[in-house]
């Protein structure tokens, strides 16, 4: 294995700006960034002609299904898929079987997550068994390196439990309480966005207000406690309004949106194909417009995929009987470029910020060397992508163990060419290396 590599002729783009430069990587770190670098003897050359060289992408919401549902995804296959999507670090959600509410289980998955094609870190549960009643051992999990706490998949519905979680986490610097914001009573029995389409299709709905009422409540509790709050996969325009106002008021809040919530609407459910089913659901055109505007103006901090693999047989069911969730890591940056950059809504730098350095900070992954500027001394976690390359999404060619992408057949702009994790290529010329 060569001890050095040079990424040649790319356009380096990070939080500090952009410049044409070669990047020399040695011993896992960036050694030099300058145009026309000499290639040291024995160094591997990664061509980046026509490409952007950015900090590795960071996805703060994925489901890699291990332990418990390895037929859908494993830490290894999920990490490989993520690397192909340009990611060098992810935060996997704790709604596994068993759930990640225990230090021993957490230590085991964290160890596994350090051995794969992408740094796979894990969020811990807020409550024991994700049941919503008693706090999980947040401190023990924190001591293992966990920074994000969530019962994702389920909402922490009990306001008092949420309040105490905010308070308790104040003693754990850099930690954040992340909420799957959907009031369980308002969404009970629902399978898609409540609106024009649910009424027409006869599919029971999940109203946008199920999200915005929880976000409003949680923001009040964050204000009361001084706690740090993160809204997972925000889907409603009304929630974005609330976060915008809360940020102006100085409440410690961040939020994310998924590519599918920016690219698709509830109209997709008219096919009755559950590949378009997720929680929170795909929403109206007005919500998509509001979320897009909120991402562009910085109200929404990050794009996170909620990569949710499901084995094919579980999606080959009627809409109401199939599990919610969609794949995301292999298509995220391309969907974002196609929907946001090609349309002139955002610059590539803004999109990469939402996919790298901003989410890295939310989850404390900057401390592990992710999302940092491409300058000498920083760990070499890098993504080399051709923003103009066009490709067609083919479910059969995805590296994920599952096939449930909502973007099958879409022609997208932006293709990841190389990914480098702590100085080692995990993807070379579109091919996973392990």
The first and second tokens of residue 100, run together, are: 């990640």
**Which of residues 201 and 349 has its CB atom nearest to other proteins in the complex?**
201
Instruction: Name the minimum Å distance from CB 283 to other proteins.
Output: 13
What's the first-to-final CA gap in the chain, in angstroms? 13
**Ranges within 265-304 binding other proteins (CB under 8 A):** 271-273
Instruction: Given the residues 101, 154, 306, 386, select the one marked as catalytic.
Output: 306
Dihedral sign (CA 8, 117, 59, 149): negative
CA 48 to CA 385: how far, in whole Å?
A: 8
Cα distances (Å, whole numbers) of residue 258 to 57, 60, 141, 298, 331 = 14, 11, 26, 15, 11
Instruction: Name the minimum Å distance from CB 194 to other proteins.
Output: 5
Q: Which has the closest alpha carbon to 393: 335, 348, 326, 433?
A: 335
Contacts (Cβ under 8 Å, ≥6 apart) of 286: 237
Q: Determine how β-strand 57-62 pairs with β-strand 87-92.
A: parallel
The verdict on 205 binding other proteins (CB under 8 A) reads yes
CB-CB contact of 124 with 33 (8 Å): no
**Which of residues 184 and 318 has its CB atom nearest to other proteins in the complex?**
318
Peptide bond into 134 cis (omega under 30): no
The verdict on 184 binding other proteins (CB under 8 A) reads no
**Ranges within 312-371 binding other proteins (CB under 8 A):** 313, 316-321
Instruction: Name the DSSP class of 308.
Output: -
From candidates 4, 131, 135, 201, binder to other proteins by CB under 8 A? 201
Instruction: Name the minimum Å distance from CB 291 to other proteins.
Output: 20
Q: Which range in 26-34, 40-48, 113-121, 202-210 contacts other proteins by CB under 8 A?
A: 202-210
The verdict on 182 binding other proteins (CB under 8 A) reads no
Instruction: Name the minimum Å distance from CB 394 to other proteins.
Output: 19
Q: Which range in 5-13, 48-56, 72-80, 199-207 contacts other proteins by CB under 8 A?
A: 199-207
Residue 306 known to be catalytic: yes
By the criterion CB under 8 A, which residues form the site for other proteins? 194-196, 198-205, 207, 271-273, 313, 316-321
| Catalytic residue IDs | 306
């Amino acid at each position: 294995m060569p001890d050095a590599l040079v990424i040649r002729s790319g356009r380096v783009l990070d939080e500090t700006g952009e410049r044409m430069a070669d990047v020399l990587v040695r011993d896992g770190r960036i050694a030099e960034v300058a145009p026309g670098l000499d290639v040291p003897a024995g160094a591997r050359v990664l061509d980046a002609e026509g490409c952007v060289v950015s900090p590795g992408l960071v996805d703060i919401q994925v489901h890699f299904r291990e332990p418990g549902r390895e037929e859908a995804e494993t830490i290894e296959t999920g990490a490989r898929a993520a690397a192909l999507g340009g990611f060098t670090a992810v935060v996997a959600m704790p709604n596994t079987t068993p759930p990640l509410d225990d230090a021993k289980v957490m230590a085991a998955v964290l160890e596994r997550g350090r051995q794969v094609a992408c740094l796979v870190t894990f969020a811990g549960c807020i409550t024991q068994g994700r049941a919503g009643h008693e706090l999980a051992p947040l401190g023990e999990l924190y001591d293992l390196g966990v920074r994000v706490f969530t019962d994702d998949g389920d909402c922490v519905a009990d306001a008092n439990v949420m309040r105490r979680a905010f308070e308790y986490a104040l003693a754990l610097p850099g930690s954040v309480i992340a909420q799957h914001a959907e009031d369980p009573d308002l969404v009970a029995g629902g399978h898609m966005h409540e609106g024009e389409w649910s009424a027409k299709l006869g599919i029971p709905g999940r109203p946008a207000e199920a999200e915005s009422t929880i976000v409003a409540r949680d923001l009040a509790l964050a204000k009361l406690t001084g706690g740090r709050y993160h809204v997972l996969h925000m889907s409603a325009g009304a929630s974005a309004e609330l976060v915008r106002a809360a940020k102006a008021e100085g409440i410690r809040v961040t939020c994310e949106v998924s590519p599918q919530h920016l690219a698709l609407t509830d109209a997709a459910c008219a096919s009755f194909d559950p590949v378009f089913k997720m929680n929170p659901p795909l929403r109206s055109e007005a919500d998509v417009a509001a979320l897009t505007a909120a991402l562009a103006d910085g109200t929404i901090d990050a794009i996170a995929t909620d990569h949710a693999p499901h084995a094919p047989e579980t999606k080959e069911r009627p809409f109401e009987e199939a599990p919610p969730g969609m794949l995301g890591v292999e298509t995220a940056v391309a969907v974002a470029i196609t929907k946001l950059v090609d349309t002139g809504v955002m610059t590539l730098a803004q999109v990469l910020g939402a996919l790298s350095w901003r989410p890295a900070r939310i989850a404390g992954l900057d401390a592990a060397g992710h999302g940092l500027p491409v300058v000498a001394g920083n760990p070499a976690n890098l993504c080399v992508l051709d923003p103009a390359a066009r490709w067609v999404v083919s479910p059969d060619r995805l590296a994920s163990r599952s096939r449930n992408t909502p973007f099958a057949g879409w022609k997208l702009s932006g293709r990841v060419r190389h990914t480098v994790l702590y100085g080692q290529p995990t993807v070379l010329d579109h091919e996973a290396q392990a």
